[in-house]
Structure 1
Amino acid sequence: MASNRNSLSAPLHLSAMSLSSSLGHGLQATLAALRASRSGLSDQRFETVELATWIGHAAGVDEVVLPESLRAFECRNNRLAWLALQQDGILEALAAARARHGASRIGVFLGTSTSGILETEQAFRRRDDAGKLPADFHYRETHNTYSIADFVRHALQLEGPAVVVSTACSSSAKVFGNAQRMIAAGFIDAAVVGGVDSLCLTTLHGFHSLQLLSADPCKPYDATRNGLSIGEAAAFILLERADVHAARDNDVLLLGVGESADAHHMSAPHPEGLGARIAMRAAMQQAGLQASDIDYINLHGTATPSNDAAEAQAIAAEFGMVTPCSSTKGATGHTLGAAGGTEAIISALCIKHGLIPGGLNITQLDPALQVNYQLANRDQPIRRVLSNSFGFGGTNCSLLLGQRGAR
């Protein structure tokens, strides 16, 4: 194996992608919503939840029927994953990759925060008089954190290493690092990365108990922001070495991954964004780039007062008021363990289609946040995007994506 293939700095090709969220199913639906500045948030109720909040509800999940061979994995999370795998020809692309590399040479690295916990929540409501859970409840294939990777391995007939990362909101960004290291070490030749998180009672009531839910559509970086809107999404990306395919001008590559763990607090970010700065610097360093090389930053931007303030401090320190940035969570909601993968795909669409999406739901930018926040869409060439995902406990990850030749 050539030495450049063993290097973590060797770019990886985003060969295929698929995404399902409240913006719609597939890349074209997502791009159309972004171009129209249309949010997927709604004030519809979910399950038994009566909270005053808006959610990013993916349409059609309850109507999905899993194939008979995958029926043991029946739960909302895996139905959402299967729905995303039906989009954008990714099943065909993954089948071709399996033929190209071999089933044992493709890894599966996915992020989630709650997995199929809704299935457990519903099962507890169906306990018998003795408190026993129903016989048709399958913890291993549903609620178990690993279940999403097990489901995808079976669905795609893959035999390589499979890992689920559950580091809160950074989960499906950090999996890019796992895949990158495994490919560089020569254990695998390609990887399916991304994340899946679906709506459930635990996250909605949990964030409500933390007083972090907004009663209105979330408004990142707004002066009156008061909390987030929970969303759901399934995002899948096929990563391969960049030399596997013939070069095309609009190819999107993974140029750098930066991770940090500042461990400042169980749920609050470091007030000066220390971990965020370390992660962004690490991504740029791996890519051999500087702050002036970045065309757009997809912010973590959850719309909580402390999170946006901390991230803005980190952005201001590294990029000043120059680099355009925005949060797309006003469109998708915060998809938690799927946020990193969702926003990596959105970032790739920005590169492919020359779009900087304006942040939604904002009435007045917070003047204390000294960044170049975009309120309206901008059409311009985009070569490199930094995508931020920062989770509870100070688990931070920044991904640097770029066009082929953008190093």
Structure 2
Amino acid sequence: MEDRVRPASPPRLRPLNILAHTATTALGSGLEAQRRALRERRSGLRSNDFGNASLPCWIGRVGGLEEVVLPSHLQAFACRNNALAWMALHHDGITAALEQVVSRHGNARVAVVMGTSTSSIGATEEAYERLQVDAEGHRHFPSDLQRSRIHTPHSLGDFVQAATGLGGPCVTVATACSSSAKVFAQAARLIDAGLADAALVGGVDTLCGSVLFGFNALQLVAPTPCQPFDARRVGLSLGEAGGYAVLERADAGPASKLQLLGYGESSDAHHMSAPHPKGLGARLAMQAALQRAGIDAGQVGYLNLHGTSTPANDSIEAAAVAAMFPDSLHASSTKGWTGHTLGAAGIVESVFALLALTDGLLPGTLNSEIPDPACGPQIRFANAQADIHYAMNNSFGFGGNNCSLVFGRAG
């Protein structure tokens, strides 16, 4: 029955201009750091040195994050996750683009849509580790962590709105690893519904004990650098990252070189953590994204895969891709560069797809050398250079929360 599911075709998406975009990862801050590392095939992964009880694995840790100090008026939000959100915000013309859309539409017409998986839970972990007992025997957080605005999943969206001063709708999306891909879809719906004219979308997730030990408890963490789609792969490498994009109605401002053309979402709810064995949700998300963009699978020049390097995920995603796309597609996972950045993966890998459109650099799959026979010819290990007009990104989350995006060059 599942293979015969034929959902109604979604309507075409009215294109949204992408005025600016950026990412900060273990490769460095801003677009130039990302493109340089991709071109040089230089990984940002390093032996795990995070926390007091480090696991024997490799991580993608953002350098210099511990030195970030938030302005005094934002100190109520101070934590590792919001420090990375602040760090990533000030690159590649994001704030200048926000000034432009505010001047055109007004502050209340610019939405904030952020994606995260664990938000500021690292600060909550620290608060519990440092619980204090008063004279009556009651336990409470230490005084420096008695800040309610960080002990919530909405901490990221709340912080970014406060940091930017934007006054439109403010949403935090938390659908595990698809979170900051789904922010593009959420923003498109807000704009289409007339609730906003532009949006700041993005995502941030940072390393913490819950992430490292939680994924290790699921037996998903590799002791060596991850090898997506390699026959020898045994698990993922975790990372942290932050990124943003500024979206605007295509008819509302100057022409833009890059556009969001389509999105597709699905929720197959097959299992708490494992993907659907036949890739049902992945296929539905990719199909809907192509339909909203009004293009055929053969027109896609580059597909950034979810490609976590876990045995089940990679083979199932590869099979879904092989069933939909021609052999000529260049598809790859970039998690060998950054690690799996969880709730930030959607924005980071969308930025990589946008770099493919602007630079013609199609990343391969770092650390991988021996193709898994279960994977089709679309999976590429080597970088390539090509002039492409459409690029896609896949981000698939726990519980079957899947999202695919289509980006294109305008004109």
Write the letter of the residue equivalent to 1:311: E
Q: Which whole-Å deviations, capped at 9, do the CAs of 1:206-238 have from their partners, x for residues lacking one?
A: 000000000111010000111001111111100
1:100 to 101, 104, 125: 104
Write the letter of the residue equivalent to 1:77: N
2:267 to 261, 265, 268: 261
Cα shift at 1:292? 0.8
Given the alignment of the two structures, is residue 378 of structure 1 paired with residue 359 of structure 2, yes or no? no
Q: Which whole-Å deviations, capped at 9, do the CAs of 1:5-59 have from their partners, x for residues lacking one?
A: xx86110011011211101000111111111111110003101232111000001
1:34-49 matched pairs, under 5 angstroms: 34-49=38-53
Distance 2:158 2:13 in 1: 29
Secondary structure class of the residue paired with 1:307: helix
Structure 2: gaps (5+ residues) = 1-10
1:188 to 169, 176, 196: 196
Cα shift at 1:138? 4.0
Write the letter of the residue equivalent to 1:124: Y
- Partner residue in 2 for 1:273: 279
Write the letter of the residue equivalent to 1:339: A
Distance 2:240 2:351 in 1: 15
Q: Which whole-Å deviations, capped at 9, do the CAs of 1:116-175 have from their partners, x for residues lacking one?
A: 111111111211134321122145322311111111111111111001110000001111
Given the alignment of the two structures, is residue 171 of structure 1 paired with residue 191 of structure 2, yes or no? no
TM-score between both structures, scaled by the size of structure 1: 0.95
- Partner residue in 1 for 2:342: 336
C-alpha spacing 1:385/1:125, structure 2 compared with 1 (3 Å) = same
Cα shift at 1:97? 1.9
Secondary structure class of the residue paired with 1:373: coil
Q: Contact conserved, 2:48 with 2:55, CA < 8 A, in 1?
A: no
2:408 to 395, 398, 402: 402
Write the letter of the residue equivalent to 1:62: E
- Partner residue in 1 for 2:36: 32
Cα shift at 1:322? 2.6
- Partner residue in 2 for 1:152: 160
Cα shift at 1:377? 1.2
1:216 to 206, 219, 224: 224
Cα shift at 1:239? 0.4
Q: Contact conserved, 1:235 with 1:338, CA < 8 A, in 2?
A: yes
Given the alignment of the two structures, is residue 326 of structure 1 paired with residue 332 of structure 2, yes or no? yes
Cα shift at 1:246? 3.2
Q: Contact conserved, 2:23 with 2:88, CA < 8 A, in 1?
A: yes
1:4-403 matched pairs, under 5 angstroms: 9-129=13-133, 130=137, 131-247=139-255, 251-403=257-409
Q: Contact conserved, 1:312 with 1:371, CA < 8 A, in 2?
A: no
TM-score between both structures, scaled by the size of structure 2: 0.94
Q: How many correspondences in the alignment?
A: 397
Q: Contact conserved, 2:48 with 2:56, CA < 8 A, in 1?
A: no
C-alpha spacing 1:185/1:284, structure 2 compared with 1 (3 Å) = same
Distance 2:132 2:370 in 1: 53
Report percent identity of matched pairs: 52
Structure 1: gaps (5+ residues) = 1-6
Distance 2:230 2:67 in 1: 36
- Partner residue in 1 for 2:5: none
